[in-house]
Amino acid sequence: MSALVAKALSKFVAVVIPVGIAAAVAFQGPAAWAAPVASSHQRALSILLRIDQSHSHAMPAAAMHTDAPRLRAYAWALAQTGHPYVWGGVGPGFDCSGLVMMAYLQVGVHLPRTTTEMLSSPLLVRVVHPRMGDLAFYGTGHVELFRRWGYTFGAHDAGSAVGLVHYGWGWKPTAFYRVVKRWDS
């Protein structure tokens, strides 16, 4: 190994190891956040939190109130895991916007049917720090529900079932939006 390669490698290791340690610490969450709750929607969310308790985006049980439609919409979408991708489908097979629209419809929020119509909806507010259940848009032609950094949940494409999608490098969301209730409309 040349001296130049050895020097570059040692600098790389000096940076990567502390970053890895910091990431390992950041992705640990208290198990107490996954307290069991009573309703079926809250039970589903509780299971999600237990699965996700080792990650920084786990939420306390107190955040699972009925005033968080994004969490209830995500729980409904999660129950659709395994359904096939069907172009234009709104159930039992879904396309990307069909799944998102139906998930929010289950909690009383009427989103437009297509991805491009959703992007122009006054019910969406762009966010920099998305939370579980927010909308993750991949350009103007694809939408899924945000799970946590690196993952979205949705009807991804033909040939794949509704489920969790790991994104990165060449395929990642370009914008995140939160669905908000407009009291003046």
**Residue 21, both tokens:** 């340690």
Per-residue model confidence (pLDDT) at position 29: 37
What pTM value is reported for the model?
0.64
Confidence at residue 89, expressed as pLDDT on a 0 to 100 scale = 84
**Confidence at residue 174, expressed as pLDDT on a 0 to 100 scale:** 93
pLDDT tier, 171 (very low <50, low <70, confident <90, very high otherwise): confident
Per-residue pLDDT band for 39 (boundaries 50, 70, 90) equals very low
pLDDT reported for residue 181: 74
Residue 162 pLDDT > 80: yes
Above 80 in pLDDT, residue 34? Answer: no
Are 53 and 41 contacting, i.e. CB atoms less than 8 angstroms apart? no
